[in-house]
Chain A
Amino acid sequence: MAGGPDWVTICRVDDIPPLGARRVARAQGGEVALFRTADDRVFALLDRCPHKGGPLSQGIVAGDGVSCPLHGWTIGLADGCARGADCGSTPTFGVSVEGGEVRLDAEELRCVGVEPAAA
């Protein structure tokens, strides 16, 4: 695993409700939404819908997608892409789950979804 990501432990899988989400606040950049599917897979997206910026963490999770609370766009959890006829995508974050712990990539947390001016 030499040169692999530098993982940061965030929480336990159990801290996220099944078919639900939690938010991770960052020092800079928008919050990251962590999602848990019915079969306990965990995904992470920037908590911002590509449509009008709605907080995806507040949406309804079904299968491997989340539907935005503001206008109902459905965003794929794995690829961050809008489904159906809608176009757009939100940044994704790599997730590793080990021993029931959810970990995110430190480098991505620093850079992804962070406005250049703020960086």
Chain B
Amino acid sequence: MKRDAAVAAKQRLVVVGNGMAGVRAVEELLKIAPELYEITIFGAEPHPNYNRILLSPVLAGEQTLEQIVLNPLDWYRDNGITLHAGKRVTRIDRVRRVVCADDGTGGVIEAPYDRLLLATGSNPFILPVPGKDLDGVIGYRDIADTQAMIDAAAKYRHAVVIGGGLLGLEAANGLMKRGMQVTVVHIMPWLMERQLDRTAGELLKKSLEERGIRFEIGAQTEALIPDRAGRVMAVRFKDGREIPADLVVMAAGIRPNTTLAESAGLLCANPRPGGIVVNDTLQTVTDPRIYAVGECAAHRGIAYGLVAPLFEQGKVCATHLAQFGIGRYAGSAVSTKLKVTGIDLFSAGQFGGGEGTEEIVLSDPTAGVYKKLVIRDDKLVGAVLYGDTVDGSWYFKLLREGRKVADIRDRLMFGESNIGDVGHEGHNRAARMADDDEVCGCNGVNKGRICKAIKDKGLFTVDDVRRHTKASASCGSCTGLVEQLLMATAGGDYSAAPKLKAMCGCTEHGHQAVRDAIRKEHWLTIDAVYRGMAWRTPNGCASCRPAINYYLISTWPKEARDDPQSRFINERSHANIQKDGSYSVIPRMWGGETTASELRRIADAVDKYKIPTVKVTGGQRIDLLGVKKEDLPKVWADIGMPSGHAYAKALRTVKTCVGSQWCRFGTQDSTQMGKDLERALWRMYAPHKVKLAVSGCPRNCAEAGIKDVGVIGVDSGWEIYVAGNGGIKTEVAQFLVKVKTPEEVLEYSGAFLQLYREEGWYLERTVHYVHRVGLDLVKKRIVDDAAGRRALWERLQFSLDGEPDPWFEFEKAQVDLRQFEPVARLERA
């Protein structure tokens, strides 16, 4: 009954344009509101939706047309979509709300709509020169153009490509690979001038010349000359020279295809860049029932020609079509890569420099490597990479996030992989890897599997690849490689993303907005946050709930109540879950020191509970592995040592060297300092785990240089270093301050950690936090502002005062003891 009513009430959505932008919007809509609309799609081409970006590899003979189909006809059928392929829409009647299409036999197809989505794409710009309509003169836009080029290559010798931009060079490369003698005519002073600076443009030209492509740089086309049969045979320039041409490809830019929209009276931007004017919800400003996405749309004056912005638009458009009314499209940052096999090239942002910018340049023409980074106001604003693009995505990320770069400036040029990447054997060029080479060392995913998933499942973004293959889903250090594979396999500017990253799929708000609102509104419960910020899900997800729980208890200590059901199992059972479902127990050993009686109790517990593995950890403690969940409270009680919080986003260890008490080199009593720090800071929950170390002299045996807070004793006092990390990416801690007394070490270290606790984002290590806000800010708050530092230190002590040890004070720590036993044990029936 209910279902029939829903069917009767179905609204009609008509989509004009069966390309990547329109179909992606429909896919997004089907994900969130599969039953809402009766959907009809018109496409002028007689094909299902295919990946237009991959026409270049098809032309080059590296892929086939079948391989680039994104949505086979079955997809339309399975989703109940009516597809009119090869039917050009000729008219929109906005009064009757009907679109009319030519059915190809002289008849008319009418389709009424409640909502209309225009995704008519763009047309190649055809130079207005004599001879432009001759046989053998084409644009480069669709399958038919590609096929015409493939056919021409089989019959003719000389090709001329007009336009040395991205598309033109890809066309030239493909035609050359098919055996034609290709000349690229480019009126501007260097190739791809909109994406490259002069140096990179010239390196590119040299490399393409070595492959056999000829260039006419600065030449102006005057006319196309026909032979007797009316086919083009030559191109004549303004200076009177002529070059032979059996095929002319016009690749001098694209223009939004707005003919249909204009005839329907929809406002279009004029003249350039053109495009149907839409607002942030992708509705046309003229008629709110009509939406436009993709290359035909002009958003805030920009018509995007790259795929990632189109997908972002599709997503926002879909949420509005689904009547959620959430999400706004705020424009995209874009980056470019050239899809010519063997040429690595990347550019993004204001690579050309400009007022107030500085440039960092690395140029090695012999090796064919050129990199330029453009910086303004301590932020990366542009990048051009030629010959080595592995760090392109990293630069693009820095650029989008607008992160301060002062602290990494001296290493910026050498890229992210220079800063201690591990896990993929040091590979930095995916193209050179074999199919069975491992890309993601965390999840054991090799190159072949990633490429297959990208092809088979039509993946476009790194997030898609993560979801489907788990590659780069854990530590993320291979993200650059995965992006290269996406580039090579699916094409496109995969990596553009909205500037603001939402916490998770449950909300559009980012971490900072949530933290700020919790403080401003004085919210004390997760529900209050969800209600106050209009969460999409009733109780969040495993990603946002633990974060919000942490934000509440760290912002409002002693007021907000911890919610165990919003913590990961490790923090709920106060032990570390292992792959077989058993747990590990790591008791706290202050400063890494222990006693005979502690060791005896540990040994006895190992025997009594048949604990299979006993291991010394990297943090100077003892790990008991393979403890059954039922035994956890008993093991804790028998050992009688405090919780080591080795399972929590909290203070873990304070590693120490022996120090001046025993060591002949020691200048300070590092062990005592470590014990004092650990006693002052234990039970401290934080956005992520926190590790400290104290060394008694600059030999630094406690490895303080890779800790969240590292303290190094020198003859005249203590040096404090912060934001080091020995994990996925080895990061050396940065010098914060030098102090004289142990009391100062406590105050400065504690204040820094409290700053991180109050302002860090959940799952952000100190290194990421300091990268995000900049070491200068940290110094200002901790070193320069004495009153602020003391206040932070006091707030931390207030937070920690009276905090329970969860291994012993169950009620106070809200440890639900019921969890350790089954709720029922059923006997054999």
Contacts and interface: CB of A to CB of B under 8 A. Distances in A.
Contacts of A78: none
Given A27-B828, A70-B577, A85 B467 contact: yes
A102 B215 CA distance: 79
Contact of B569 (A16, A23, A58, A63): A58
B537 A23 contact: no
Contacts of A71: 470
A54 B568 CA distance: 14
A19 B565 contact: yes
A60 B537 contact: no
A25 B826 contact: yes
A54 B540 CA distance: 22
Interface stretch (B130-138, B588-596, B727-735, B816-824): B816-824
Interface string A9-21: 0110001111110
Interface string B572-583: 110001010100
A80 B470 CA distance: 21
A59 B825 CA distance: 21
B539 interface: yes
Nearest to A55: B581
Contacts of B541: 60, 62-63, 67, 74
Contact of A85 (B468, B537, B545): B468
Interface residues of B, number: 34
Contacts of B564: 17
A110 B822 contact: no
Contacts of B819: 22
Contacts of B806: none
A23 B825 CA distance: 9
A39 to B, nearest CB: 8
Contacts of A74: 541-542
Given A27-B828, A38-B538, A38-B539, A20 B823 contact: no
Contacts of A109: 826, 829
Contacts of B538: 38, 63
Nearest to A87: B468
B826 A84 contact: no
A67 to B, nearest CB: 4
A25 B822 CA distance: 6
Interface residues of A, number: 41
B239 interface: no
A17 B826 CA distance: 21
A20 B827 CA distance: 25
A67 B542 contact: yes
A72 interface: yes
B823 A10 contact: yes
B566 interface: yes
B349 interface: no
B546 interface: yes
Contacts of B568: 60, 69
A28 B828 contact: yes
A107 to B, nearest CB: 9
A9 B826 CA distance: 10
Interface in B452-480: 464, 467-468, 470
Contact of B816 (A17, A61, A70): A17
Interface in A8-58: 8, 10-11, 15-20, 22-28, 31, 34, 38, 52-55, 58
A22 B822 contact: yes
A58 B565 CA distance: 10
B95 to A, nearest CB: 43
Nearest to B567: A60
Contacts of B581: 53-55, 58
Nearest to B582: A55
Contacts of A59: 542, 569
A108 to B, nearest CB: 11
Given A20-B565, A55-B581, A85-B467, A31 B542 contact: no
A106 B829 CA distance: 8
Nearest to A9: B824
Contacts of B470: 71
A62 B537 contact: yes
A45 B607 CA distance: 34
A40 to B, nearest CB: 13
Interface in A68-115: 69-72, 74, 84-86, 106, 109-110
Contacts of A53: 581
Nearest to A109: B826
Interface in B546-584: 546, 564-566, 568-570, 572-573, 577, 579, 581
Nearest to B821: A23
Contact of B827 (A17, A22, A27, A62): A27
Contacts of A106: 829
A9 to B, nearest CB: 9
Nearest to B828: A27
Nearest to A26: B826
Contacts of B542: 59-60, 62, 67, 72, 74
Contacts of B828: 27-28
A-B CB proximity, top 9 nearest: A67-B542, A22-B823, A85-B467, A27-B828, A58-B569, A60-B542, A25-B822, A69-B569, A19-B565
Given A17-B565, A70-B579, A84-B467, 7 more contacts: A18-B565, A25-B826, A26-B826, A58-B573, A61-B539, A62-B539, A63-B541
24 contacts: A8-B826, A15-B823, A17-B564, A18-B565, A20-B816, A23-B822, A23-B823, A24-B824, A24-B825, A25-B824, A25-B826, A27-B828, A38-B538, A52-B579, A54-B581, A55-B577, A58-B569, A60-B545, A60-B566, A60-B568, A61-B565, A69-B568, A85-B464, A109-B829
Interface of A: 8, 10-11, 15-20, 22-28, 31, 34, 38, 52-55, 58-63, 67, 69-72, 74, 84-86, 106, 109-110
